[in-house]
């Protein structure tokens, strides 16, 4: 499967615990994006990363949320001390290096976080 791989697909955490969501980009893609979709809402941009570099984190909440894309391994979205309002679908997307021809990104199947 050469697509964007996200795991886990479903994650249940108690309030105060940590959630870690992983994303492996498509082969050949060096850019990773994280989006969040809250119930009954559209896609909200969170963060855009290259390997070992955060390009744009303007959509990340100021506290408890962090993201990384290390030189080796998947990108990780980490949510510390989760609260019920963090319950959402988290989508990862990837793209090849930027080009003048456009900017198509490809999504994974999503990770559904439920905070109880």
Partner 1 sequence: DQQVKQNSPSLSVQEGRISILNCDYTNSMFDYFLWYKKYPAEGPTFLISISSIKDKNEDGRFTVFLNKSAKHLSLHIVPSQPGDSAVYFCAASARNAGNNRKLIWGLGTSLAVNP
Query: Which of 106, 111, 109 has its CA nearest to residue 29?
Result: 106
Q: Out of 29, 68, 74, 109, point to the residue binding partner 1 (CB under 8 A).
A: 109
CB 34 within 8 A of CB 92: yes
Q: Out of 17, 20, 30, 45, point to the residue binding partner 1 (CB under 8 A).
A: 45
Least distance between partner 1 and beta carbon 97 (Å): 11
Judged by CB under 8 A, the chain residues 15 through 44 that form the site for partner 1 are: 33, 41-43
Quick check: 4 binds partner 1 (CB under 8 A)? yes
Least distance between partner 1 and beta carbon 81 (Å): 27
Least distance between partner 1 and beta carbon 33 (Å): 8
Quick check: 105 binds partner 1 (CB under 8 A)? yes
Q: Binding residues for partner 1, per CB under 8 A? A: 4, 6, 33, 41-43, 45, 48, 55-56, 91, 93, 98, 101-110, 112
């Amino acid at each position: 499967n050469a697509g964007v791989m996200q795991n886990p697909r479903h994650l249940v955490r108690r309030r105060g615990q940590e959630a870690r969501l992983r994303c492996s980009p498509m082969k050949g893609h060096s850019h990773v994006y994280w989006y969040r979709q809250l119930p009954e809402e559209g896609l909200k941009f969170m963060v855009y990363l290259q390997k070992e570099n955060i390009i744009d984190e303007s959509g990340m909440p100021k506290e408890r949320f962090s993201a990384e894309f290390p030189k080796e391994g998947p990108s990780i979205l980490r949510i510390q001390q989760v609260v019920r309002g963090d319950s959402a679908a988290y989508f990862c997307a990837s793209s090849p290096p930027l080009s003048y021809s456009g900017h198509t990104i490809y999504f994974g199947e999503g990770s559904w976080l439920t905070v109880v």
